[in-house]
Structure 1
Amino acid sequence: MFDATLLRSFQVVAQEASFTRAAERLHLTQSAVSGHVRRLEEQVGKPLLARSTRSVALTVEGEVLLGYARAILRLNEDARIRLAGTAPSTHVRIGASDDFMSSWLPEVLQQFRSARPGLSLEIRIANTGVLTQAMDRGELDLVVGSRCHGERTGQLLWREPLVWAYARGRLPEAQAPLPLALFPEPCPYRDAALAALAAAGRPWHIAVVSPSVGSLKTAAAAGFAVSPLNRSLVTASLQPLADDAGLPPLPEVEFVVLSRRHDGSREIAEIEAEIVRAARLF
Structure 2
Amino acid sequence: MLEFELLRAFVAVADCGGFHRAAERLNLTQSTVSQQIKRLELVTERPLFRRTTRSVALTDDGEMLLGDARRLLQLEEAARLRLAAPRLSGTVRLGVVEEIAGGSLPRALGRFAALHPGVKLEVQIGVSAELIEHLNKGRLDVVFAKRPLGTSRGRLVWREPMVWAAADTFDLVLDSALPLALYRERSVSREAALAALNDSELTWEIVYTSPSLTGVRAAALAGLAITPLPASAVVAGLRIIGWEEGLPRLPDLEFAIYEKARPDKAAAALAATLLALAQGPSRPTI
For normalisation by structure 1, the TM-score amounts to 0.70
- Name the counterpart of 2:232: 232
Q: 1:25-174 counterparts in 2 under 5 A?
A: 67-74=78-85, 78=87, 89-147=89-147, 149-174=149-174
Change in CA separation of 1:150 and 1:266 when aligned onto 2, cut-off 3 Å: farther
Which of the two has higher C-alpha Rg? 1
TM-align CA RMSD: 2.9
Question: 1-side partners of 2:79 and 2:226: how far apart?
Answer: 49
Give the residue type in structure 1 aligned to 2:275: V
The offset of 1:64, in angstroms, is 5.9
Query: Does residue 253 in structure 1 map to residue 242 in structure 2?
Result: no
Question: 1-side partners of 2:175 and 2:82: how far apart?
Answer: 62
Partner secondary structure for residue 191 of structure 2: helix
Change in CA separation of 1:65 and 1:210 when aligned onto 2, cut-off 3 Å: closer
Change in CA separation of 1:66 and 1:165 when aligned onto 2, cut-off 3 Å: closer
Q: 1:198-277 counterparts in 2 under 5 A?
A: 198-260=198-260, 262-277=261-276
The offset of 1:134, in angstroms, is 0.9
Answer yes or no: is the 8 Å Cα contact 1:190–1:228 preserved in 2: yes
The offset of 1:195, in angstroms, is 0.6
Question: 1-side partners of 2:161 and 2:74: how far apart?
Answer: 31
Change in CA separation of 1:66 and 1:157 when aligned onto 2, cut-off 3 Å: closer
Where structure 2 has 5 or more consecutive residues not aligned to the other structure, the ranges are: 1-27, 41-68
Answer yes or no: is the 8 Å Cα contact 1:167–1:238 preserved in 2: yes
Answer yes or no: is the 8 Å Cα contact 1:177–1:205 preserved in 2: yes
The offset of 1:70, in angstroms, is 3.3
Answer yes or no: is the 8 Å Cα contact 2:81–2:115 preserved in 1: no
For normalisation by structure 2, the TM-score amounts to 0.69
Question: 2-side partners of 1:131 and 1:66: how far apart?
Answer: 29
Where structure 1 has 5 or more consecutive residues not aligned to the other structure, the ranges are: 1-50, 79-87
Partner secondary structure for residue 200 of structure 1: coil
My pick for the range that moved more, 239-248 or 157-166, is 239-248
Between the two structures, name the one with larger relative contact order (CA 8 Å, sep ≥ 6): 2
1:45-99 alpha-carbon deviations (Å, 9 max, x no partner): xxxxxx98868x9x9999766644433444xx55xxxxxxxxx631111100111
Question: 1-side partners of 2:103 and 2:125: how far apart?
Answer: 13
1:118-172 alpha-carbon deviations (Å, 9 max, x no partner): 2011111001111111111111111111135250321111111111110115332
Question: 2-side partners of 1:95 and 1:89: how far apart?
Answer: 19
Question: 1-side partners of 2:138 and 2:109: how far apart?
Answer: 21
Change in CA separation of 1:174 and 1:96 when aligned onto 2, cut-off 3 Å: same
Partner secondary structure for residue 162 of structure 2: strand
My pick for the range that moved more, 65-74 or 243-252, is 65-74
Aligned length: 221
Q: Percent identity?
A: 32
- Name the counterpart of 1:194: 194
1:20-53 alpha-carbon deviations (Å, 9 max, x no partner): xxxxxxxxxxxxxxxxxxxxxxxxxxxxxxx988
Answer yes or no: is the 8 Å Cα contact 1:171–1:245 preserved in 2: no
Change in CA separation of 1:181 and 1:62 when aligned onto 2, cut-off 3 Å: closer
Partner secondary structure for residue 123 of structure 2: strand
Change in CA separation of 1:54 and 1:267 when aligned onto 2, cut-off 3 Å: farther
Partner secondary structure for residue 120 of structure 1: strand
Question: 2-side partners of 1:237 and 1:136: how far apart?
Answer: 38
Change in CA separation of 1:111 and 1:248 when aligned onto 2, cut-off 3 Å: same
Give the residue type in structure 2 aligned to 1:266: K
Partner secondary structure for residue 113 of structure 2: helix
The offset of 1:176, in angstroms, is 1.8
Answer yes or no: is the 8 Å Cα contact 1:99–1:213 preserved in 2: yes
Answer yes or no: is the 8 Å Cα contact 1:148–1:252 preserved in 2: no
- Name the counterpart of 2:6: none
Answer yes or no: is the 8 Å Cα contact 1:92–1:122 preserved in 2: yes
The offset of 1:181, in angstroms, is 0.7
Give the residue type in structure 2 aligned to 1:100: I
- Name the counterpart of 1:26: none
